[in-house]
Amino acid sequence: MFNKDLGQHILKNPLVAQGIVDKAFLRPTDTVLEIGPGTGNLTVKILEKCKKVIAVEMDPRLAAELTKRVHGTPDQRRLEIMIGDFMKAKLPYFDVCISNTPYQISSVLVFKLLEHRPLWRSSVLMFQREFALRLVAKPGDSLYCRLSVNVQLFAKVEHIMKVGKNNFRPPPQVESSVVRMEPRNPPPPVEFKEWDGLMRIVFGRKNKTISANFKTDTVEEMLENNYKTFCATHDRMIEDPLNIRAKIHGILERVGVAEERAAKMDQDDFLRLLVAFNEEGIHFC
């Protein structure tokens, strides 16, 4: 009956569903965006606590089932169902997002929410356990990675609940966890592509030194090209001869991170590094 390609594992434990809704701290004035409502086990509980739910569901069969579930109840006029793919949808205004969606879209979902404007208040999201632990990981944790720093740059993320496989029908193959995200408002004044370009390099091999990660032909070639383009477009002289390896190394030494490892560095370390590179005209995108 359920479509595996759409990750349809229905949350059957009402206590877990209630726990998720409680952790969203909904207000009676809130508009809630629910992604992938399925048969509506979370939806009906969300509707009890807020003004309006806008639910985006890809499977028209389940959307019809949910419509039937609220039909003739007072909730009917407070539920709007958008049939379609969340990833392609133009999102409406919302205060809070709640989602239990297929795990293969986790990463894109998080960044789509973080890019959305105006910024929302919080999101309560179910993910595969390991993905959730990556989102909250801190420097030194084994799961600390590029995803952790990229998401934590824009949001405060908190692990709020473990959910075992048997709470779903059919049970998925992996354990799940619920996290709450609160976007940093205002967002940090960092150009994300530039930041992520640096993260790709330093987390390339996160247990190697920063210096080792920069010392590859691909990285040096890319940064040299970016540097030349920057100089050409900003009326700046290019050193002759240009020794990009020495230039990069000088910056890493000055910031004091050449022998550090990304696995142990925090947001502030990365920000200092990015600013130092940019001041020298070296860019990552």
**Residue 7 contacts ligand SAM per CB under 6 A:** yes
Structure tokens at 94: 């919302």
Is residue 155 within 8 A of residue 181, CB to CB? The reply is yes
Angle between helices 129-136 and 106-115 (to 10 degrees): 40
The least distance separating ligand SAM from the CB of residue 284, rounded to whole angstroms, comes to 30
> In 3D, which of 281, 279, 271, 282 has the Cα closest to residue 189?
271
Q: Near ligand SAM by CB under 6 A, which window of 53-61, 194-202, 248-256, 263-271?
A: 53-61
Residue number, 4 or 193, with CB nearest to ligand SAM: 4
**Residue 56 contacts ligand SAM per CB under 6 A:** yes
Residue number, 87 or 275, with CB nearest to ligand SAM: 87
Structure tokens at 216: 């590859």
The least distance separating ligand SAM from the CB of residue 272, rounded to whole angstroms, comes to 38
Exposed, middle or buried by CB within 10 Å (0-12, 13-18, 19+), for 28? exposed
CA distance 228 to 253: 22
Q: What are phi and psi of 79, to 5 degrees?
A: -115, 125
Residue 120 gets which letter from DSSP?
P
The least distance separating ligand SAM from the CB of residue 215, rounded to whole angstroms, comes to 41
Residue number, 2 or 192, with CB nearest to ligand SAM: 2
CA distance 73 to 253: 66
**Residue 38 contacts ligand SAM per CB under 6 A:** yes
Q: Pick from 37, 81, 120, 199 the residue near ligand SAM by CB under 6 A.
A: 37
Residue 55, Ramachandran bin (φ over 0: left; ψ between -120 and 50: alpha; else beta): beta
Give residues 78-137 in contact with ligand SAM (rule: CB under 6 A): 85-87, 100-102, 105
Binding footprint of ligand SAM, residue count (CB under 6 A): 24
**Residue 19 contacts ligand SAM per CB under 6 A:** no
Q: Near ligand SAM by CB under 6 A, which window of 8-16, 149-157, 243-251, 260-268?
A: 8-16
**Residue 65 contacts ligand SAM per CB under 6 A:** no
